[in-house]
Chains A and B, each alone.
Chain A
Amino acid sequence: QSVLTQPPSVSAAPGQKVTISCSGSSSNIGNNYVSWYQQFPGTAPKLLIYDINNRPSGIPDRFSGSRSGTSATLGITGLQTGDEADYYCGTWDSSLSAVVFGGGTKLTVL
């Protein structure tokens, strides 16, 4: 079982907005920076969001991140078929002294 909890799947139509949640605790999300990754089949994960709400160079502003208490959220607007992928949240867990990830969410753009 993953330390961080994500929904297994989400779906939305092209052009719409979707949010992916990541639930944790005060030892991880509640007090540490959160990052989000996008992974296509057979490829390495790619960083989308770091430090809760920052985008690396080259990541479009359709992708956003936020945190409220012990939960974090990835938002994607203007959905495109090319956004179909698995999405993972990650953060440091101060109790475990380890980086922890969510179980991943498969995004389907209908």
Chain B
Amino acid sequence: QVQLQESGPGLVKPSQTLSLTCTVSDDSLSSGSYYWSWIRQPAGKGLEWIGRMYTSGSPKYNPSLKSRVTISADTSKNQFSLKLSSVTAADTAVYYCARANYDVLTGSRNAFHIWGQGTMVTVSS
């Protein structure tokens, strides 16, 4: 079974850029069968989708974060990454990477079958 693993700094200063990487345990990142997302969850609160990427086309971002988010991939390393700029305390959360299966027949692409364990990021000076 494929595994996803988030990594990156656990502490980021306000106004700086949060950078996380998700390492995929197999080479499915370059497969057209999946969409790859970042999702976050502040302590004690619900889930918030940040954005996603696919093997082709432009990444898609949550409109509420679009001006600050960049998602990209390095398929040679089986990794995709998240950059969130100009962070504030409101960006403090557990960040998850997740994989959604893409069903060409039905168009389904938004159910997250595989999740990373999550990584806690705190924004503080």
Query: Which positions in A face B, CB cutoff 8 Å?
Result: 2, 32-33, 35, 37, 43-47, 50-51, 56, 88, 90-92, 96-104
Contact = CB atoms under 8 A, between A and B. Distances in A.
B110 A32 contact: yes
Interface in B34-82: 37, 46-49, 52, 60-63
Interface in B70-97: 96
Contacts of B101: 50
Contact of B46 (A47, A98, A104): A104
A32 B109 CA distance: 10
B108 A33 contact: yes
Interface of B: 37, 46-49, 52, 60-63, 96, 101, 103, 106, 108, 110-113, 115-118
B63 A99 contact: no
A92 B46 contact: no
B47 A101 contact: yes
19 contacts: A32-B110, A33-B111, A35-B110, A37-B112, A44-B115, A44-B116, A45-B47, A45-B112, A50-B101, A50-B108, A51-B103, A56-B113, A91-B110, A98-B60, A98-B62, A98-B63, A99-B49, A99-B110, A102-B46
B48 A101 contact: yes
Given A45-B112, A46-B115, A50-B101, 20 more contacts: A33-B111, A35-B111, A44-B115, A44-B116, A44-B118, A45-B96, A50-B108, A50-B111, A90-B47, A90-B49, A90-B110, A91-B110, A98-B60, A98-B63, A99-B37, A99-B52, A99-B62, A99-B110, A104-B46, A104-B47
8 tightest A-B CB contacts, nearest first: A50-B111, A99-B49, A35-B111, A44-B115, A101-B47, A92-B110, A103-B46, A104-B46
Nearest to A104: B46
B49 A47 contact: no
A47 B114 CA distance: 8
A101 B50 CA distance: 12
Given A44-B96, A97-B63, A99-B37, A51 B48 contact: no
A104 B108 CA distance: 22
